[in-house]
Copies of this chain bind each other. A is one copy, B any other.
Amino acid sequence: MKAYKEMSRDELLTLKAALEEAYKQEEAKGLSLNMARGKPGMSQLTLSMPMLDVINSQSDMNTLLGNDTRNYGDLDGIGECRKLMADMMSVEKDNVVVCGNSSLNIMYDTVSRSVTHGVNGSTPWCKLDKVKFLCPVPGYDRHFKITEYFGIEMVNIPLYDDGPDMDLVEKYVNTDPAVKGIWCVPKYSNPTGISYSDEVVRRFANLKPAAEDFRIYWDNAYCIHHLYDDKQDEILNILQECEKAGNPNMVYIFASTSKISFPGSGISAIATSLENIEYIKSQMTIQTIGHDKINQLRHTRFFKNIDGLKAHMKKHADLLRPKFEAVLNTLDRELSGLEIGSWIEPRGGYFISFDALPGCAKSIVAKCKALGVVLTGAGATFPYGKDPQDSNIRIAPSFPTPEEMQQAAEIFVLCVKLASVEKLLGEM
């Protein structure tokens, strides 16, 4: 294939005419496909339906310790569920509080509590003139929305194949006391799919924050969300590394079963040092009498243990892999050598991240939408919704069927080509 940038104006015009013709044909099909969000597909939801039989009117509703899950109690979650989530998050049970249905909600509450009450006794952030968070980009839009909502200034940090630019992270964290946090998706990152290298994790653990209330917000959303049996990423245990480095309180780890059981009806957890846990519980006990323990029991009895969780995730992988491959094969077949975009082949998680020619992302997303294929809005993967390059697009292959995904991928590459030609012709 000839790279577009090496084509003459005439060649580009000829190509453009052909692409526009193809575009018209697709337009006539009137498709309606949604690749905007990391929503599990129908077949994935079906996997967890047997969970709904595990607890019924004849069930023993007591925990292993004999507590009745139907009544008030167990603020930090029932013991067996804390154990299950601890194993999933690679920490000890005592380091875990099991919460409600959403890890996003825990993250929000964690930031909100810091704004109103500070962190383990520090000055409440609402009393400070400026609070900053570092945001590896591209990243997860809902993280950025939380910090934006609380008026926290966000600083873009480039995300490479092995993690964030740690020179820059160290520079900010170790010298600027206004920097109070960094958002991380360390494994199968949203959206690029990369995992942090051991060196990156160690450099995180060895930060020397200028602010005593600096914390790493370690959203391990895809901790057991592999796509392959034989190619799996593993990351270093950040809680252990922080302990070793003498920074035991520096990290909050978040996870949930939203993409294991049911989005919205799963369970979530936070894992951190015992000192942090005590502080969090002192606030949680004001906020709630406790979370949904029957749902905790349902999850624990269904998955039984970490092996049960892993076996379940293999079934998810079998369903997701063809969808990822439909996109990746199409990108590879249609775009290789054209030099109009790049992407990483993820080994897990929920996304494929595509970097178009600078200035093309919005145009591609708009063109796809006109053909009935909804993508995450261009810019969403950056703080304030502003991609300085207008280049990154997040593709979420999970919700459509593999066949629909194939169709959507064909449309996507068509729109990439057309937008790129327009760009090179100076029409945009």
Contacts and interface: CB of A to CB of B under 8 A. Distances in A.
A297 B52 CA distance: 13
Contact of A126 (B39, B59, B68, B116): B116
Nearest to A285: B145
A56 B57 contact: no
Contacts of A42: 68
B116 A71 contact: no
Contacts of A115: 116, 126
Interface in A313-365: none
Given A100-B101, A264-B289, A292-B101, A45 B68 contact: yes
A41 to B, nearest CB: 9
A71 B288 contact: no
Interface in A56-109: 56-57, 59, 61, 68-73, 100-102, 104-105, 108-109
A52 B59 contact: yes
Contacts of A146: 286-287
A42 B68 CA distance: 9
Given A56-B52, A265-B295, A145 B286 contact: yes
Contact of A40 (B52, B56, B71, B288): B71
A57 B53 contact: yes
Given A45-B68, A52-B57, 18 more contacts: A45-B71, A51-B57, A52-B55, A53-B56, A69-B264, A71-B263, A101-B288, A102-B289, A108-B286, A115-B116, A115-B126, A124-B126, A142-B289, A146-B286, A264-B289, A264-B292, A265-B295, A292-B295
A105 B264 contact: no
Interface of A: 37, 39-40, 42, 45, 48-53, 55-57, 59, 61, 68-73, 100-102, 104-105, 108-109, 112, 115-117, 124, 126-127, 142, 145-146, 149-150, 262-265, 283, 286-295
Contact of A101 (B39, B112, B291): B291
B287 A264 contact: no
A111 to B, nearest CB: 10
Contacts of A262: 70-71, 294
Contacts of A56: 52-53, 56
A108 B263 CA distance: 24
B293 A264 contact: yes
19 contacts: A52-B57, A53-B57, A56-B56, A69-B265, A70-B265, A71-B263, A71-B264, A73-B264, A100-B100, A105-B288, A108-B286, A112-B112, A116-B116, A124-B126, A146-B287, A149-B286, A264-B289, A264-B293, A295-B295
